[in-house]
Amino acid sequence: MARLQRGLPGTSTTARARRLAGAGLAFPASLVVVIVMLVPALQLFRYSFNRYDPVETMKSALTLENYVRFFHEGYYLGVLGTTLWVAALCTALSLVAGFPVAYMLAKTQTRFKSLLIILLVFPLMVGNVVRAAGWMVILGNAGFVNSVLHLFGLIDQPVRLLYTPLAVILGTTGVVLPYMILTLQSVLEGIDLSIEEAARNLGAGFARTFFRIVLPIATPGVAAGTMLVFILCMNAYATPVLLGGTGLTMMAPAVYDQIAKTANWPFGAALALILMIVTLAGALASSLLIHRRYAQRMVH
């Protein structure tokens, strides 16, 4: 049948026309992506080789001194390390907390499912600054957590929760959690319920069914959600600034300080490019690792 179809006149022409039509539809979006993302990235790349000048902001040059400064000064390497472990921890927490919620939303048949999804999407309509302000109210010395602890007699003095790494981790995880849940839900909804029922009928318990059937099938969603959330965490700005204060510095605020406060555009551009490269490398590495591990589990 396939040979007959290949032999029919006009079949290859139709397929070619469809490919051209698809490329034509994708071209405007691709052009926008190139203009919005690639052009500024190339400009930052060029700026990163310039030399800082206190009077003129920067002078055109081709020097590696900005990159040398980053790798020679332990402070900025420490900031990058802090950003990496905070992003990795927030990604892991959002995955652990978001998977059960996404699974419940994907499998529930209640008529209130649309309402639950709207409630999940609603925080995304609120700016990160507003959500960070809410966490400041919760974690402050006179906030909700300290008030509850004091009410039950567990503390005599307020516990310092605000302007700590814990506050940044909680706030960042709260910001990215809806993205993880929505990504996972879209994949879990495609899993046929009969597969789980067949596994349980064959004697597999809930845990065995989950880890041997559901989780490997959901690997694309796990990889996509992990990549998206990791990128968001690496580039977080408002939450680390408002909740971390001087107790924790991440790369995005460091880039802003160099460009907006110090007016050192060349070094700020170098920091931005390093952040971009490390973020993409980390996201791709985590995605490949997830795919490889679960592919091996499926084989065994």
C-beta separation of 183 from 224 below 8 A:
yes
Q: Which residues of the chain have pLDDT under 50?
A: 1-9
C-beta separation of 268 from 216 below 8 A:
no
Domain ranges of the chain: 74-299
pTM for the model: 0.82
pLDDT digits (tens, 9 = 90+) for 246-293: 778 899 999 999 988 888 999 999 999 999 999 989 888 877 877 676
Amino acid 247: pLDDT: 77
Amino acid 1: pLDDT: 46
Give the class (CATH, top level) of 74-299: mainly alpha
Q: Which residues contact 261 (CB under 8 A, 6 or more apart)?
A: none
Separation in Å, CA 256 to CA 17, 20, 48, 50, 268 = 47, 42, 15, 18, 7
**Tally of CB atoms within 10 A around 57:** 14
Radius of gyration of the chain, Cα coordinates, nearest whole angstrom: 25
C-beta separation of 173 from 240 below 8 A:
no
| Segment holding 88, helix H or strand E | helix 74-107
